[in-house]
Amino acid sequence: MSLTIGLLFALSIGRHAFGPPKGLNDFVQEWTSARNHLVGEPIYAPLADSLKRHFRREVQLTTIQVNAHPPSCVLLTLPLARFSFTRALQIWNGLSLAMLIVAVALLFSRAGLGWSPWYLLPVFALTVTSNPLAQQMLQGQLNLLLLLLLTGFWLTARSGRWAWAGVLVGVAGAIKLFPLYLGLYFLAQRRWLGVLGVGAGFAITTLVTMSVFGVDVYVEYFREVAPAVAGEFQSYWPNASISGFFRKLLDGSVGHTLPLADLPGLASLLTLATVLAMTIAVGLRCYRAQDDRQRDSAMAACVVAMLLASPITWDHYFLLLLPFLALLWQQACGAPARQAALLLLIVLMFTVRPTWIWDAVIPGDGELALRAGDVPSVGATWHVLTVLSYEFYSLVALWWLAMRSGPVADETKMARTAPVA
């Protein structure tokens, strides 16, 4: 029965990946920017102009007005710019699924966690029933490339190849910026080759991108695009980061929630203080990690903290947690309460779709209400404190589990086996 359900979900994922796109999605940003470069237009031209140029029709945009992603994202999709949008999206989704398979194979390789036939069904079920994976395919996102890079980061760090581990983090950071947070792991572990590797990976990827698009695209991105994107999207319902929580609670400027109090300055201050406190705690955790087990759980805590610290964390970013969820699950063997808590968090973050809850609880036709005549939904303060933040709370709980994993289990084992005087 479970295999049949899994196969049905797999067919659904295939339909999302290779079926005709339902309107415009996130991948259109990379594709139009890449097409702009081919015809001599700026890659950060107004998105409405780019859509009119390449789709030959007027498109009314209600949210994003320009490609929100760094220039290296556009470089990745430049070879696909000569294809139609639908074909380019299908090719990218096919490559993304291949990267997912490689990442899972590396995770369960002999150098990783090792393989057992018992892993097959839960990994298959978790993957194909995953709402983040469905969103990844629908949006044509870059998360599965980042997943492959972060899996490589874990494996190379585990084998002591610190420079290469740093390079992989640096490349990931050049693509989406927020993975640069993982440089904290190398700093706290005093792995200076890893720190240099992060800088080298980021610099090489950036220089290659500059050689294609020029230096000005980076000036435009950091001066104009990034601040505009952060200002608009941090208050959106699906943002599961620390910043998203405080923006939804204390900043009503976007109009998607009714804040407890309209104090955006306080939201920024609380975000900064919380991220700083969490980063110090994670840094100490990484600093104290001495063996593979402790380093694995410290790395998992660092990855979860990365998502919490990012200004914007959509639910499809949760795919980056897959290797580290496997690590935490392995470390929780023999601790039923911890496994039960971890399983609950996995279901909340991967299987439950937020819209199932939001549509049932919050009046209106959805946060964006894109169709004519729709009434936009506005979250009340109690919605922010409950249903609109359950993914944020899940990330916080997962971070706490990761912080308590490894050494706690080791100490419990030592206490049980210590001789009685």
AA letter at 276: L
- Strongest mean pLDDT among 83-87, 183-187, 230-234, 342-346: 183-187
The pLDDT of residue 255 is 87
Distance CA 128, CA 399 (A): 24
Query: Is residue 46 pLDDT above 80, yes or no?
Result: yes
Which tokens in the block code for residue 131? 């709402």
Q: Is residue 281 part of a domain?
A: yes
What is the model's pLDDT at position 128? 67
- Kindly state the percentage of the chain with pLDDT values over 90: 66
- In this prediction, residues 274-302 reach a mean pLDDT of 95
What mean pLDDT comes out for the span 186-215? 97
Residue at 301 is within a domain = yes
The confidence score (pLDDT) of residue 66 equals 82
Q: Residue 190: what pLDDT? A: 96
Q: How far apart are CA 228 and CA 44, in angstroms?
A: 13
> 413 in a domain, yes or no?
no
Q: Is 416 within the bounds of a domain?
A: no
Place 56 in a pLDDT band, splitting at 50, 70 and 90: confident
Exposed e or buried b per residue across 216-253, where buried means at least 16 C-beta atoms within 10 angstroms of its C-beta: ebbebbeeebbeebeebbbbbbbbbbbbbbbbbbbbbe
Assess if residue 411 is contained within a domain. no
Total domains, the chain: 1
Residue 227 pLDDT = 86
Partners of residue 19 on adjacent β-strands: none
Residues 320 and 240: beta-carbon distance below 8 Å: no
3-class SS at 419?
A: coil
Mean predicted confidence (pLDDT) in 391-399: 98
Please state, for a pLDDT cut of 70, what percent of the chain lies above it: 85
Q: Which domain holds residue 287?
A: 2-368+376-406
Neighbours of 266 (CB within 10 A): 14
Is the torsion defined by CA of 232, 216, 178, 147 positive or negative?
positive
Residue with tokens 């959106």: 236
Least confident span in 1-10, 151-160, 246-255, 320-329: 1-10
Average of per-residue pLDDT values in the chain: 87
In a domain, 292, yes or no: yes
What pLDDT score was predicted for residue 277?
98
Residue 421 lies in a domain: no
Q: What's the gap between Cα 63 and its chain centre?
A: 20
Give yes or no for residue 27 having a pLDDT over 60. Answer: yes
